[in-house]
Amino acid sequence: AQKITQTQPGMFVQEKEAVTLDCTYDTSDPSYGLFWYKQPSSGEMIFLIYQGSYDQQNATEGRYSLNFQKARKSANLVISASQLGDSAMYFCAMRLSGGYNKLIFGAGTRLAVHP
Amino acid sequence: GAGVSQSPRYKVAKRGQDVALRCDPISGHVSLFWYQQALGQGPEFLTYFQNEAQLDKSGLPSDRFFAERPEGSVSTLKIQRTQQEDSAVYLCASSGGGGGETQYFGPGTRLLVL
């Protein structure tokens, strides 16, 4: 069964420090994509970063990087130099090559950045 | 507009009422998705359109849920005879082509059924 697991319901971090949000996935499909989205209290899902299953290098986007370990089926998000505005829900999602590209989401991790 | 827009942002309905939720995707985007997000959970897929064709409606929870995109741009999600369990945030997303591009989400419509 295709599934995304986020085991950390809540995390907190001090401002300016780095934080890692965990994500593991389950699929037998060899071709898939992994996404991280941020959802502030306003409700909108904001795209952060993408990793394809065949990508050789870990994806990076500014302060966001994705620690992709294919053999472990994990795709952890690393946020460096945390800012107060990073406080939000973070969702890991998987897109399969079939199934018309719908996304399967995890339950999310709530991140609180403390000054 | 630059992003995906949805209206209304909030909707309160009495049990048994019909509601219609609107999504305006990013201009030119071929693919449009609807998701349902219950409180404290991640979004769950409802249905997918490629232009005006509804190619996947496997996530619609019952025949009370109906979606359309008649001209391949704006989409409407209709819920008939609303029930309390329909209370959720309904998110719309669009992506550029028919392939695996990134989906960009709207702000959602928060539906409360009393």
Percentage helix, strand, coil, to 5, in chain B? 5, 50, 50
Q: Do B56 and A100 touch (CB under 8 A)?
A: yes
Q: What is the pLDDT of residue B74?
A: 97
Give the pLDDT band of residue B99 (cuts 50, 70, 90).
Answer: low
Does B70 contact chain A (CB < 8 Å)? Answer: no
Q: Do A45 and B45 touch (CB under 8 A)?
A: no
Report A:89-108 residues touching B (Cβ under 8 A). Answer: 91, 93, 95, 97, 99-108
- Our CA-based measurement puts residue B109 at a distance from the nearest CA of chain A, in whole angstroms, of 9
Per-residue pLDDT of chain A (115 residues; tens, 9 = 90+): 789 999 999 999 999 999 999 999 999 888 899 999 999 998 889 999 999 999 989 999 999 999 999 999 999 999 999 999 999 999 999 998 776 789 999 999 999 999 9
Whether residue B17 is predicted with pLDDT greater than 80 in this model: the reply is yes
pLDDT in tens, B35-92: 999 999 999 999 999 999 999 999 999 999 999 999 999 999 999 999 999 999 999 9
Does B49 contact chain A (CB < 8 Å)? Answer: no
Whether residue B98 is predicted with pLDDT greater than 80 in this model: the reply is no
Does A78 contact chain B (CB < 8 Å)? Answer: no
Report B:1-30 residues touching A (Cβ under 8 A). Answer: none
Whether residue B100 is predicted with pLDDT greater than 70 in this model: the reply is no
Cα-flanking dihedrals φ and ψ of residue B98, to 5°? -95, 5
* Residue pair A113/A82 in contact by the 8 Å Cβ criterion: yes
| Out of A47, A102, A104, closest to residue B102 by CB | A47
- Terminal alpha carbon distance of chain B: 33
Q: What is the pLDDT of residue A101?
A: 84
Does A10 contact chain B (CB < 8 Å)? Answer: no
Q: What is the pLDDT of residue B97?
A: 66
Q: What is the pLDDT of residue A85?
A: 96
Q: What is the pLDDT of residue A98?
A: 72
Q: What is the pLDDT of residue A50?
A: 95
Q: Strand B19-24 relative to strand B5-7: parallel, antiparallel, unpaired?
A: antiparallel
Q: Do B42 and A44 touch (CB under 8 A)?
A: no
Does A38 contact chain B (CB < 8 Å)? Answer: no
Please name the residues in contact with B59: beta carbons below 8 A apart, sequence gap of 6 or more. Answer: A102, B36, B44, B45, B46, B47
Give the pLDDT band of residue B1 (cuts 50, 70, 90).
Answer: low
Does A64 contact chain B (CB < 8 Å)? Answer: no
State how far the Cα of B12 lies from the Cα of A106, in Å rounded to an integer: 27
